[in-house]
Amino acid sequence: MTAFLRRLAGHVARGLAMIFVVATISFFIVRNIPGDPMLALYEKLVTSGMDPAAASQAVRVAYGFYPSGSLWEQYVDYMGGLLRLDLGTSVTNPGAPVTGVLAEASKWTVLPVLAGTLLSFLVGVIMGVYAAVRRSGRLGDILAISGSLLHGVPQYVLALLLGAIFGTTLAILPTDGTADILIEPGFTPEYIGTLIEHATLPVLTYALASYGGWILAMKSSVVTVLGDDFILAAELRGMKRSIVFRYIARNAILPLFTILAISMGLLFAGAVFIERIFNYPGLGLMLIESVTNRDYALMGGAFLLITGATIVANIAADLLYTVIDPRVRSGEEAAA
Amino acid sequence: MKRLAAVVALLGIAAASACSSSGNTNKSASGGGSAVYTTIDGTKPGIDPNGPANPFAPKGNSFSGYNAMKLAWAKNHLTDPNQFYPGIAESWEVAPDNSSITIRLQPDNKWSDGKPVTAEDVKLSLAIAYTQGSTAFALQPGAAGAAAEVTVVDDKTVKVTQDMSNPSQTFARGVLDTAVVPAHVWSSVLPADIWDKIKAARGTDAAAEAARTEITELGKKIIAHNPGKDVSAGPYVLERVNPSAALLKKNPNFYNAANVAPDAVQLLNYTGNEQVWNYLKAGKLDSAPFVAVPADTMAQIKQTPGNVVVKGYSPVAVGLAFNQSKKPYDNVHVRRGLAYLINRAEVQKIASPEGGLPAVTTTGIHQKAAAEWLGAELNNLEPYAHDVAKAEAEFKAAGLTKKDGKWTLPDGKPWKVSMHAPAGFSDWLAAQENIKSQLIDNGVDAEVVTTADFPLYQTEMAEGKYDTGFWLIALGPAPYNIFQRIYGSANGWTNIAGKVTHNAPGKNGNWMGSAEEIEVEGLGKVNPGELTAKLNSVGAEEQKDLMLQLAKVANADLPVVQMWDYVNTQFQNHSRFTGFPGDDHDLLRQPHGVWIQLGMIKKKA
């Protein structure tokens, strides 16, 4: 237990140091992106019909939401705010706290990406075992080819394809947003139904795009395990096929759990293209908008959230391994 | 099993969060058999479900013409910027010397919470206008067309006087184009002495500067303000919003509610043109404002049952602007040569087949408005029709030479026309690619450079980094705004409180780099920046004369080659509703909520 706590403390310390470094780097990168949002806003207002003098004043008001002072002063303010978990206020949504904007966008990213990841993991792992066990047969070939194909197709191509088939040609699934506005929100079958209906294509796209990786990784892992002595011993002892199969799966899945844990950290990185294509208002769409508007606080907050989640997931993956793999645990205990 | 339960619980929490997040209320607006009008708000891509019902917030859920009302709706007439449709104001009267406007409110209009719309609401809204920046409510001392006094005449009448030290012809427009909010909801955001602060801010001393700073800070407060439940004086009131759409239900207290046919309006969210195309192809939208559409997509949209495409005047054009600080674009013969060499009809056909008309010539004015402003004189201007021989003659006059079929600079160095456009502006990029092909075919080397995005494009252009780039011009209907685009700050002229100064090429945002005075045949030496500034204040007849002079300058000197004049292409679906405005109707330039509030749109029998 002491070893575990010591390991955890080390991870947390390293994680905090990494977050500090990432926050610093992202602060300076974000604020050095070329392009003046004020000029762009002025141009937008004037070309939408506003008088130039009025546009200048309107821009001055909007400009008030941008951080002021020298870069160093802004950095000190930013890091001070970070300690209080205050990421500043958004310019795109003037005056709104960045933490609130991120929280709102996060749920629309986490929900489909989590569902897509779990779905693809489940199907990919099962199919991966079959692909490995039946690797000399037609089924194994088909599964392996499908995995390679889907692994190679970019997310946005899949999204466009599924959107065209189910959203436009067959017109059976919506491709616009999260729910039908005409349905009253609440815990009703109707409303939950519309949420699921709208999430189907984003989830399906994400699941199909990640499925290839899982099936290939699982197949490779199973093939490695199949060559282990304990499998041969089990077969020689005349164990039932289903029990041997369980032995194989349990041992082969260990490395995939690590990948799964790291994938969880990427939940917040989301799927920019999928959200853009299906107009799904998650972090990806928010990030595009914040870059276009040079919303420094929002951009910085989003980058921090994504990197922070990845760091936490990596720590969790490392700790998880000690829990699920007795060999690692006993090794640590012996060392302690 | 425990792990599975944990996953299910996690998903449940997420679903609960999603279920509970949406909507400002939990009432449903759609009853059985109700008529819901479906559209998009062309000015608000990206609906924010957490945005306040605040007409001043860029991401607010106040939608112009539906639950956000102005005193009146500007018609954007070809030549007269002061024509309006009624809104909160039933009528208005402008003093003969343009020194004041008296506004009478709709007598029976009420806010959605049942309180009457009064002159005090308007007065508070005009105070807010000072915090946000507006032509008539500018704080800079000496600003053109600024209001001097706001007086409540009676419960339904307000009088606004103009500061006649620097009057503007567009004063009435500046006043009427003001959003009106309920005083009983918004008064707490402004200090009680707001009018004293406004008065102080219009001075020239240090106290005035301090007051201006204070009012600008108030502007931020206004933008960020969340008034809670929507209180609207328009035909609709916000019911709920989710990331897919906003739902507005009919406001029974609206003065013309009896003639408002749709029971509810849903404004669908979109973040890019592709989504609007998909809505249109699916026949979901009862109407949609202008959206650039490629030819093949347009054909698909037209095939959808009920879909109708209508076209009208759009007061904007696009041109290829030159940086005259860079050689050889400082030479007018080079600019003219390029004007002759580029086949504008071909460019428009490739780049904007449905959304534009090839420019008949370069005047700086949209061709429809130019016909009104210039009359027969328009035909006397050089049309710069596609003519390779004339182009070559101009290039030779500029000292360019042709070697091995390629034009080179007078010093023998190679010449490459470098054109810039921001990524995502597909029509501009398609146009420039076509121009590039045309130029290369005629011995002028050319390239198209894409800039990452619009803010970067604006910055680099203002810094004078580009040789040439596309630039929106002819922004009507106010004549000053039209020519301000080519003889304003981008070309060196700064107009502060009616005083015009000129910055040297390459300085203070003068990226076009014109000289301060230009010699024009028949006009002599003219200062186009000063002529442009005068457009603000002179009477209608003198305006007409100035517009002609400036058109002649723009035509002869070519700071910009006008490529195409935009056409307001809109979409309607006549399956569910009728009464839509047809081709060339001035209501096509209004938010579609104005069609509904005026009682035009009817349910299909």
Distance CA B200, CA B183 (A): 23
| Predicted pLDDT at B38 | 97
**Superfamily, domain B69-224:** Dipeptide-binding Protein; Domain 1 (3.90.76.10)
**Superfamily, domain A98-335:** MetI-like (1.10.3720.10)
Per DSSP, the three-state class of B209 is helix
Residue B498 CA neighbour count, 13 Å, CB half: 16
Q: Does residue B169 sit at the A interface (CB-CB below 8 Å)?
A: no
Residue A105: name the closest of A263, A272, A285, A294 by CA.
A285
Helix (H) or strand (E) run with residue B485 in it: none
Nearest CB to B455: which of A39, A60, A96? A39
| Predicted pLDDT at A1 | 62
Measured in residues, chain B has a length of 605
Q: Round the CA-based radius of gyration of chain A to a whole number and report it.
A: 25
Task: Give the closest-approach CA distance of A223 to chain B in angstroms.
Answer: 27
Listed in order, strand segments (DSSP E) in B63-170 are 69-70, 72-74, 84-86, 89-94, 100-105, 147-154, 157-162
Per DSSP, the three-state class of B564 is strand
On chain A, the residues whose CB falls within 8 A of the CB of B130 are none
Q: Which long-range contacts link A317-325 to residues 24+ away (Cβ below 8 Å)? A: A317/A257, A317/A258, A317/A261, A317/A262, A318/A7, A318/A11, A319/A4, A319/A7, A319/A8, A319/A11, A320/A257, A320/A258, A320/A261, A321/A254, A321/A257, A321/A258, A322/A4, A322/A7, A324/A254, A324/A257, A325/A254
Least confident of A254-263, B54-63, B220-229: A254-263
Beta bridge partners of B245: B242, B268
For a pLDDT cut of 90, what percent of chain A falls above it? 22
Q: Which residue of B has its CA nearest to A177?
A: B244
Nearest CB to B19: which of A56, A171, A187? A187
Residue B176 has pLDDT above 50, yes or no: yes
pLDDT band at A26 (very low <50, low <70, confident <90, very high): confident
pLDDT, average across residues B339-356: 94
For residue B549, CA distances in Å to B339, B386, B528 come to 20, 24, 9
Q: Which residue of B has its CA nearest to A163?
A: B278
Class of domain B1-54+236-306+574-605: alpha beta
Q: Does residue B50 sit at the A interface (CB-CB below 8 Å)?
A: yes
pLDDT tens per residue, range B433-487: 999 999 999 999 999 999 988 889 988 998 899 999 999 999 878 899 899 999 9
Q: Which residue of B has its CA nearest to A63?
A: B220
On chain B, the residues whose CB falls within 8 A of the CB of A176 are 244, 268-270, 275, 278-279
In b/e form, how buried is each residue of B476-510, taking b as 16+ CB within 10 angstroms?
bbbbbbbbbbbbbbbbbbbbeebebebeebbeebb
pLDDT band at B5 (very low <50, low <70, confident <90, very high): very low
Q: Does residue B7 sit at the A interface (CB-CB below 8 Å)?
A: yes
Task: Give the closest-approach CA distance of B306 to chain A in angstroms.
Answer: 17
For residue B512, CA distances in Å to B9, B471, B479 come to 62, 11, 20
On chain B, the residues whose CB falls within 8 A of the CB of A56 are 133
CB under 8 Å to B179, separation ≥6 — which residues?
B55, B56, B62, B68, B69, B70, B125, B128, B129
Nearest CB to B455: which of A35, A94, A281? A35
pLDDT tens per residue, range A132-147: 888 888 888 899 899 9
Alpha carbon of residue B22 to chain centroid: 31
CA dihedral B588, B592, B596, B598 (to 10 degrees): -50
Q: Which residue of B has its CA nearest to A181?
A: B245
- A176, B266: Cβ pair inside 8 Å? no
Helix (H) or strand (E) run with residue A319 in it: helix A296-324
pLDDT band at B295 (very low <50, low <70, confident <90, very high): confident
- Contacting B residues, span 330-349, partner chain A, CB-CB under 8 Å: none
Q: Cα-flanking dihedrals φ and ψ of residue B62, to 5°? A: -110, 125
Measured in residues, chain A has a length of 336
On chain A, the residues whose CB falls within 8 A of the CB of B57 are 93-94
Q: Cα-flanking dihedrals φ and ψ of residue B114, to 5°? A: 95, -10
pLDDT, average across residues A237-251: 83
Residue B603 has pLDDT above 80, yes or no: yes
Q: Does residue B568 sit at the A interface (CB-CB below 8 Å)?
A: no
Listed in order, strand segments (DSSP E) in A106-193 are none
Residue B29 has pLDDT above 80, yes or no: no
Q: Which residue of A has its CA nearest to B47?
A: A281
Least confident of A287-296, B53-62, B316-325: A287-296
Question: Is the CB of residue B232 less than 8 Å from the CB of residue B251?
Answer: yes
Distance CA B488, CA B495 (A): 8
In b/e form, how buried is each residue of B129-146, taking b as 16+ CB within 10 angstroms?
bbbbbbbbbbbbbebbbb
Q: Cα-flanking dihedrals φ and ψ of residue B578, to 5°? A: -130, 180
A271 versus B241: the higher-pLDDT residue is B241
pLDDT tens per residue, range A191-228: 999 999 999 999 999 999 989 999 999 999 998 888 88
Residue B551 has pLDDT above 50, yes or no: yes
- A176, B268: Cβ pair inside 8 Å? yes
Domains of chain B by residue range: 1-54+236-306+574-605, 69-224, 314-566
Least confident of A130-144, B14-28, B276-290: B14-28
Q: Round the CA-based radius of gyration of chain B to a whole number and report it.
A: 26
Residue A63 has pLDDT above 70, yes or no: no
Eight-class DSSP state of B384: -
Question: What is the number of H-type helices and E-type strands within chain A?
Answer: 15, 0
Q: How many CB atoms lie within 10 A of CB B465?
A: 16
Nearest CB to B132: which of A61, A168, A285? A61
On chain A, the residues whose CB falls within 8 A of the CB of B223 are 61-62, 65, 94-95
| Predicted pLDDT at B133 | 78
Q: Which residue of B has its CA nearest to A285?
A: B271
Q: Which of A41, A108, A181 to mutate to test the interface with B (most CBs of B within 10 A)?
A: A181
Nearest CB to A65: which of B220, B282, B315? B220
Distance CA A54, CA B473 (A): 18
Class of domain B314-566: alpha beta
| Predicted pLDDT at A49 | 64
Distance CA B135, CA B124 (A): 17
Distance CA A226, CA A222 (A): 6
pLDDT band at B48 (very low <50, low <70, confident <90, very high): confident
Task: Give the closest-approach CA distance of A111 to chain B in angstroms.
Answer: 6
Question: Is the CB of residue B73 less than 8 Å from the CB of residue B81?
Answer: no
Residue A326 has pLDDT above 80, yes or no: no
Per DSSP, the three-state class of A323 is helix
- A57, B453: Cβ pair inside 8 Å? no
For residue A272, CA distances in Å to A160, A280, A285 come to 13, 9, 6
pLDDT tens per residue, range B103-137: 999 999 999 999 999 999 999 999 999 998 777 88
pLDDT, average across residues B5-21: 45
When the pLDDT of each residue in chain B is averaged and rounded to a whole number, the result is 90
The two tokens of residue A180 are 């039908």
When the pLDDT of each residue in chain A is averaged and rounded to a whole number, the result is 85
- B15, A111: Cβ pair inside 8 Å? yes
CA dihedral A209, A210, A215, A221 (to 10 degrees): 150
Residue A182: name the closest of B46, B37, B235, B68 by CA.
B37
pLDDT, average across residues A20-48: 82
Domains of chain A by residue range: 98-335
Give the torsion sign (CA, B585, B591, B594, B599): positive
Nearest CB to A36: which of B240, B274, B459? B459
Question: What is the number of H-type helices and E-type strands within chain B?
Answer: 18, 27
pLDDT tens per residue, range A140-172: 889 989 999 988 898 889 999 999 899 888 889
Per DSSP, the three-state class of A71 is helix
pLDDT band at A329 (very low <50, low <70, confident <90, very high): low
Distance CA A18, CA B451 (A): 33
3-state secondary structure B15-58: HHHHHHHCCCCCCCCCCCCCCEEEECCCCCCCCCCCCCCCCCCC
pLDDT band at A180 (very low <50, low <70, confident <90, very high): very high
The two tokens of residue B183 are 């005083």
| Predicted pLDDT at B354 | 84
Q: Does residue B58 sit at the A interface (CB-CB below 8 Å)?
A: yes
Q: Which residue of B has its CA nearest to A114?
A: B11
Listed in order, strand segments (DSSP E) in B106-257 are 147-154, 157-162, 179-180, 236-242, 245-250
Distance CA B58, CA A45 (A): 11
The two tokens of residue A170 are 């067959």
Residue A184: name the closest of B226, B26, B87, B262 by CA.
B26
Nearest CB to A118: which of B7, B133, B458? B7
On chain A, the residues whose CB falls within 8 A of the CB of B315 are 49
Q: Which of A129-133, A178-182, B173-177, B255-259 has the highest mean pLDDT?
A: B255-259
pLDDT, average across residues A283-299: 86
Helix (H) or strand (E) run with residue B320 in it: strand B307-322
Distance CA A247, CA B186 (A): 69
pLDDT, average across residues B574-591: 95
- A180, B244: Cβ pair inside 8 Å? yes
Residue A263 has pLDDT above 90, yes or no: no
